[in-house]
Amino acid sequence: MLSGRVPRRVEEATKHQLLCLIDQAVADGWEHRRACQYLELDQGRAWRWRRRCDTGCLGDRKPGDAVHGLRPEEITAILELFEQWGDVDRSYRKLAHRGSYLRLVWVSPATVRRVLAAHGLVLVAVQSSGLSITRFARAGAESCWRGAIRS
């Protein structure tokens, strides 16, 4: 067993034994906080272990796993956004905002771009006609008015 403070990484069996000791102490009338103090285990850590134990994944994940990784349903929502709104929005930024407006997924534009790129999807920009607003304002506006007056 352990002597002293519980180290950062402990085996799943050790976590399970510590949780059992806490349960036994609580059943004998101790407060959860006091049992954790006696075992030199942070109370928040014990509660976190308990939640993970309830879901069946008490063991440690490998070091370096993304804490803020995307869940599969978020990836699916981004792909659905692309299928439904990609031709309309034509921008990663607009798709990301559309996802939050529709309450489907809350991600950044860079995340939308990365997910679409990982699935081989790219937003295609619309080719402009070549007529710029400034050119129309200089030459086109007068000719439009002239044409309307002559008719």
- Digit-coded pLDDT (tens) for 99-123: 999 999 999 999 999 999 999 998 8
Do 20 and 1 lie in one domain? The reply is yes
Residue 82 burial (10 A CB sphere; 0-12, 13-18, 19+) = buried
Last residue in a domain, options 9, 41, 65: 65
Question: Which of 109-113, 133-137, 142-146 holds the top average pLDDT?
Answer: 109-113
Query: How many C-beta atoms surround the C-beta of residue 69 within 10 A?
Result: 8
Last residue in a domain, options 12, 46, 65: 65
Quote the domain boundaries for residue 101: 66-151
Residue 69 backbone phi and psi in degrees, to 5? -70, 160
Residues whose CB falls within 8 Å of the CB of residue 52, separated by 6 or more in sequence, listed in order: 58
Do 41 and 103 lie in one domain? The reply is no
Would you tell me the crossing angle of helices 92-101 and 72-89 to the nearest 10 degrees?
A: 120
Residue type, 72: P
pTM greater than 0.85 (yes/no)? no
Residue of 2 and 99 predicted with greater confidence: 99
Q: Stretch 78-83: mean pLDDT, rounded?
A: 94
